[in-house]
Amino acid sequence: MRSRSARLRVAVRAFALALSAVLAAAGRPAAAAPQTQTVVKVFTLKYRKVEDALAHLRPLLSDSGAVSVVLETSLNSLTVRGTPVLVEQITRAVATFDVPLRAIDIAVTLLKSPGEKTRPSDKANVSEEIRGIGEKLKKLFNVTDFIRLDSVIVRGTEGQRVAYAMGGGYRLSFLLDSSRESTQVQLRDLSLERVWREAGREVRGEILRTSINVKLGQPYILGIGRDEAAGDKLFVVFLANWRQPGPGIS
């Protein structure tokens, strides 16, 4: 009986020691995990604004715990700290983005679809490219009859705001925003206004304000809807291409 009691006391003591060892281990900090290697790299942009570069890099910076970025707008530079793999990806992205601003030619045609039937002579006064979009106008807007109010080739450079007074008393303006894609042009803050004179002063009424992406070499049809002042449906067709250097132009 006494031996059984002794064995019980030994078992209880062993259990208490084991429990205390477990609790002590739980209270100690775990061994520090090996730290991930990080590198720091400074990028000084030559052609583009650092703020635009940050927007371009946003997809790579979605994991805020993996990379940190510090901007120096006065130096047009950004400092990146992250894993070697991420920093290498950012290096390639910056090299692709920081290229000379591109010159752009945009053919802009303003069309209207009046209530009355258009004369054949008016319909013929449209370029081949614009005449070819007749089926698109019919399919997208159920428009089969239109005339050209004006056509112009707008020349500008990325980052530049352009404006043009078009026929019929309309004024078009937009910002040629820096595009992340080489196959499209971004027209940001695009505005179409109708301009007229009233009591000896110029009055402007904005009809539309939007932003669009225009694929190079493909007509982009912007349906304005009905201009209440004129009573016509309006359409603006954009056809954009990077401007190619000519002889003696570098």
Tens of pLDDT along 204-219? 999 999 999 999 999 8
Residue 182 has pLDDT above 50, yes or no: yes
Taking only the tens place, the pLDDT of each residue in 32-71 is: 555 568 889 999 999 988 988 888 888 887 655 567 888 8
Where are any strands of DSSP class E within the chain? Answer: 39-44, 67-72, 77-82, 103-113, 147-157, 161-166, 170-177, 184-198, 201-215, 220-227, 232-242
Residue 15: the pLDDT is: 47
Residues of each domain in the chain carrying CATH 3.30.1370.120: 39-97
Tokens of 19: 């429990």
Mean pLDDT over residues 104-132, rounded?
A: 64
Q: Are 206 and 191 in contact (CB under 8 A)?
A: yes
Residue 59: the pLDDT is: 80
Average pLDDT of the chain? 76
On whether the pTM is more than 0.85, the answer is: no
Segment among 65-69, 86-90, 111-115, 243-247 with least mean pLDDT: 243-247
Third-level CATH fold of 39-97: Ribosomal Protein S8; Chain: A, domain 1 (3.30.1370)
How many residues in the chain?
Answer: 250
Strands 161-166, 39-44: parallel, antiparallel or unpaired by DSSP? unpaired
3-state secondary structure of 158: coil
